[in-house]
Every structure is written in C-alpha cells, then in structure tokens.
Amino acid sequence: MAAPFEDLDPLLHSQLRLAVMSLLLSVREAEFTFLKEKTGATAGNLSVQIGKLKDAGYLTMTKEFSGSYPLTRCAITPQGVAAFEAYVQSLQRYLKPPDSA
C-alpha cells in the first residue's frame, strides 16, 4: 500500500512550471508570448522554467521565424501529461488522506 503522503514532483511543484503545464494541458501547444502573457512571468524566468520542463521531457520546444521575428512554440508531451496527472493524483491524496481506522 502506497504511503498517503508521497513526494510531489519537484518540477511541477513550482508555481510557474505548474502554470505552464496547466496551460499546455488545455491547449496542447502554445507560443512563448501566449505563455508569458497568461503567466505574467518575465521572459527570462519563463525561458529558464520552460527549459527545465523540456529537459525533463515534459514539453517540446520549436523555434522558427515569422518574418524576421523569432517564434517559439511549446507543446506538452505524453510524458508531461502523465506527470501532470500523477502530480494531481498525489495532491488529491494530500487533500483526502485515507481514514486511519
């Protein structure tokens, strides 16, 4: 039987990374500017946090140009979806621990 208070995924326990994953879960793919606008993060901080999620395999990032402007898109991966769902399930166990009886 699993302990009711298991460790939470430290990558997703960060507010900004959790916000990015939540947004991508609903839209599947988004431009960097959309994520920046919706999270209210600075470009530098968002870039660092997206890099951490990318390194973990939770999202993919593509860079291209639209005219002479750089365009960065992020998309959630199946691994990212699974990690997010596991994180939510873990949180639910914190909110509703099993009866001690």
Name the class of domain 15-90: mainly alpha
The residue ranges of every structural domain in the chain are: 15-90
For residue 98, what are the contacts with CB-CB under 8 A and spacing of at least 6?
4
pLDDT band at 11 (very low <50, low <70, confident <90, very high): very high
For residue 39, what are the contacts with CB-CB under 8 A and spacing of at least 6?
16, 19, 20, 23, 46
Supply 46's token pair: 């968002």
Supply 48's token pair: 């660092």
For residue 63, what are the contacts with CB-CB under 8 A and spacing of at least 6?
70, 71, 72
How much is the average pLDDT of 87-97? 86
How much is the average pLDDT of 62-82? 93
Give start and end residues of each alpha helix (H) in the chain. 15-27, 32-39, 43-55, 78-95
Q: pLDDT digits over 25-61, tens only?
A: 999 899 999 999 999 999 999 999 999 999 999 999 9
Supply 64's token pair: 């291209």
Residue 60: strand pairing partners: 75
